[in-house]
Amino acid sequence: MTTEDYYEVLGCERTADGATLKSSYRKLAMQYHPDKNGGCKDSEARFKAVSEAYEVLKDPQKRAAYDRYGHAAFKQHGGGGAGGGAHDFSGFSDIFESMFGEFVGGQGGARRQTRRGADLRYDMEITLEDAFNGKQTEITVDVSGLCDTCGGSGAKPGTVARGCSTCAGHGKVRAQQGFFVVERTCPTCHGAGEVIADPCNTCRGDGRTDKTKTLSVNVPPGVDEGTRIRLTGEGEAGPRGSPAGDLYIFLHVARHAIFTREGTTLHARAPVSFTTAALGGEIHIPGPDGTHHTIRVAPGTQSGREVRQRGAGMPVLQGRGRGDLVVRIEVETPTRLTGRQRELLEMFRDTETGEECPETSGFFAKMKAALGG
């Protein structure tokens, strides 16, 4: 077996494609063929080195291993490898074991397969007040838990599982398929590494039974729609004592009668009388925690104006501070007037000059100009 770099033997760059490698090999093989050199020992040795290099580099898997490990990927086990360009690749599976782990063998394949229990999902609806203040509550879920009779082993009490003779307790079996070592789940124990001769009558050897669990859930302040709470190990139990999965609680915040939410900002709509909008005043809005917030309405406030109250919004989840409360003012026109009120409004109308509502007078002035007077 040559110790020269295979690419140098073929006179090619490491980036050469298959066609380039083949062309170079044919040229060199013809040049150094023993029949053309009268039995010259040097030519014969060179011919073997060229054949050896091309035998490795023409195969994508062998080439990948050589590019990574060099000649160490093809260390021979036994003699006779150098003659006639023959190679022993029995050590090649070890290279692929380190490259691809348990898919083809190696230390990962010697470990028993662990089948973790399934994760579960639980949807919980809460109010905006719950999201604001936080909440400690309990939920009831139906899950597969450890069998109380056998303790999750799957074996009848007083008996034990025995190691699988097919895979020697590894949970996987290997098979040599030409160049590769293929590894698959053991067909006898299905990856458990153990065989139960006398299964538990309650769980029939699975180690799990259906149960109903009551769990305590802490909903922190500031949660939002879609917030996920994870309860580790509260999902379904794994078969035969394998680790349990997790329980994921997805929160859904119910629609509120007053507030809508954007992150930590609360939005509310507040109708006010036209006299309050004209003269100014105050309105009071209770927050989700019961605190009353005073919103000042400036004189001449128009419908649609937004007033922001700093720090009166939702708490920051797992942080400090609170968002804002944004109140949209909607001016309400009275629809039910007493005789006296109507009289007073008519008196007010008689005193109007147009300057009281500059936007209205400006609109009609522009319309007039647009229509040519």
| Residues of the binding site for Zn(2+) | 147, 150, 164, 167, 186, 189, 200, 203
Binding-site residues from annotation = 147, 150, 164, 167, 186, 189, 200, 203
Give the span between the Cα atoms of 185 and 187, in whole angstroms: 6
What is the enclosing helix (H) or strand (E) of 332?
Answer: strand 325-332
What is the enclosing helix (H) or strand (E) of 83?
Answer: none
Among all chains, which residue has been given the structure tokens 């078969």?
Answer: 239
DSSP 8-class letter at 211: E
Give the span between the Cα atoms of 101 and 94, in whole angstroms: 10
Give the span between the Cα atoms of 332 and 157, in whole angstroms: 77
Left (φ > 0), alpha (ψ -120 to 50) or beta: where does 222 sit?
left
Tell me if 56 sits within 8 A of 63, measured CB to CB: yes
Left (φ > 0), alpha (ψ -120 to 50) or beta: where does 133 sit?
alpha
Give the residue from 33, 48, 32, 35 showing the smallest Cα distance to 81. Answer: 48
Residues 6 or more apart whose Cβ sits within 8 Å of residue 49: 2, 4, 9
Sign, Cα dihedral of 42, 43, 48, 53:
positive
